[in-house]
Chain A
Amino acid sequence: MFHAGRPEEAANQALIAHPPYQAPLAGDRTMPSGAVFQDIPVSASIFPRTALRLDAISKAFGSHTVLDEISLNVPKGQIHGIIGKSGAGKTTLIRIAGLLDKPDRGSVFFEGINAPVHELRGQELLEARRKVGFIFQSFNLFASRTAGENIAFPLEAAGWPSAKIRARVQELLDLVGLADKADRPSSRLSGGEKQRVAIARALANHPSILLSDEATSALDPETTRSVLDLIRNLRDMLGLTVVMVTHQMEVVRRICDSVSVIASGSIVEEGLVSEIFAHPRSAAAKAFLKEGQHE
């Protein structure tokens, strides 16, 4: 099995050293279809490959600007945190990255797809969605299905034959430590079990990216830690790239390699978790660290 391991220190440094990518035509918003992911001017020998790239994403609801030209590069294998207060725009950002919402302006790129994924349609859009798993604060399991049937759904949608689905579901249940809960109705699982099923469901189609929108916010501290550790182990085992939106400093401290601090629709600070903890520069980062001390 492919084993990514933790990114090297050099790779982490690269994340900071590497300036946000500016597409040649980023200014006029009409990116030609010829713009490909490989255009990223990053030498693979020096920098890690980027798994997920957000390019000058803007989004407004009515007259309220939620995201203001946010750009983000997440290197392959990294666990990247996005921390911010509620209303800072972080949920909107990750929903756009997960192809659940469309940006007003800007582009989303996934590794291995030679087109801005947010512009894809039909079968191509479904294929892009199989590259990314999404987990939610409220788990969003299907109440009409058992744990196993929840995990089977993305495989049914991908047209797998039922024998293969059964084997894959069991494999995923083993992976998240719920091997004996396949036939349990999803509403009769505990919060932590529900999120484990949701993680298994998100990983069913072998995505390379896992996006988490406050996945541990509804869980007690102990369950939060076990779910976070699971996510880190899965990253190590499967070479996943993970983006975790959170308002809990605990999440960033426990599993993130790097972090973006987001405040009123912009990234105000970004870098290695260790550096931001040691030398926070922005007021938002300082506020989070202060809050974290009371935990």
Chain B
Amino acid sequence: MNEALSLLAKPLGETLLMIAASTLIAGILGGLVGIFLFALSNDRFAGKHRGARFAKRLADRAINMLRSFPYIILMVLVLPLSRLIVGTSLGTLAAIVPLSVAAIPFLARIVESALSEVDSGVIDAAISCAASKTRILFAILIPEALPSLVSGLTLTMISLLGYSAMAGVIGGGGLGDLAIRYGYQRFRGDVMAVAVVTIIILVELIQFSGTAIARSIRAKR
């Protein structure tokens, strides 16, 4: 058992790195895409322009397509992209690229729907305060949607944790890889158990913190 635990340190670090980096990248890029999707479809922003409606339809198709790929296929498909960005298609850093690519459309949808849920009366009020669209977006809509955005980010991180289990395929390591290589392929039930329990603890931790943050934001309102 002690040996199983000692095997844990490196994969745990790899998993944490993969989750943190891909959450950060997807948080920024997916957030921007989500804001874009919202602005294109909302009548108060660009939604009334024919060009915007067309762009929204294109973006919808692209996002749905990206989200349809089984993750393992997506991972192989973005290998060239990993090589371009991190210089290699193997290893933990390389695994961050497909994770981000998978999370961006997911998070974009979450941001789009969180912003769309803000009451249109609140947008009317912000407009009547003579604020610019950008100001309304960043000073009103995002703060108003913050609890939903936090919940959505939590959901994204947990999905990423699941996807990261497949990083072993491209040598990315991580807890899922540990469970497969030791637990499954070498019949080391103890290592499998340690890896799986660690993943469960991580999921619980992420969910607990996400819920707590969202709740504390709501409690101050």
Contacts and interface: CB of A to CB of B under 8 A. Distances in A.
Interface residues of A, number: 33
B140 A153 contact: yes
Given A153-B139, A153-B140, A185-B220, A140 B124 contact: yes
B87 interface: no
Contacts of A126: 130-132
Contact of A143 (B124, B127, B130, B144): B144
Contact of B143 (A100, A144, A156, A187): A144
B130 A157 contact: yes
A132 B125 CA distance: 12
Contacts of A157: 129-132, 135, 139
Contact of A144 (B125, B127, B130, B146): B146
Given A138-B121, A156-B139, A144 B129 contact: no
A270 to B, nearest CB: 26
A41 B190 CA distance: 93
B128 interface: yes
B221 interface: yes
A109 interface: no
Interface residues of B, number: 20
Contacts of B143: 142, 144-145
Interface string A141-157: 11111000000011011
A130 interface: yes
B128 A133 contact: yes
A154 B143 CA distance: 16
A47 interface: no
B126 interface: yes
A205 interface: yes
B60 interface: no
Nearest to B145: A144
A62 to B, nearest CB: 15
A137 B128 CA distance: 14
Contact of A142 (B127, B128, B132, B140): B140
A19 B168 CA distance: 82
Given A129-B128, A153-B126, A157-B131, A143 B221 contact: yes
Interface in B107-128: 119, 121-122, 124-128
Interface in A191-231: 198, 201-202, 204-205
A141 B143 CA distance: 13
Interface in B28-59: none
Given A100-B124, A136-B124, A158 B144 contact: no
19 contacts: A100-B124, A127-B130, A129-B128, A134-B124, A134-B128, A138-B119, A140-B119, A140-B121, A140-B125, A143-B144, A144-B221, A145-B143, A153-B139, A156-B131, A156-B135, A156-B139, A157-B130, A185-B220, A198-B125
Given A126-B130, A132-B128, A140-B119, 13 more contacts: A99-B128, A127-B130, A134-B125, A138-B119, A140-B125, A141-B125, A142-B122, A157-B129, A157-B131, A158-B130, A185-B221, A186-B221, A205-B130
Interface of B: 119, 121-122, 124-132, 135, 139-140, 143-144, 146, 220-221
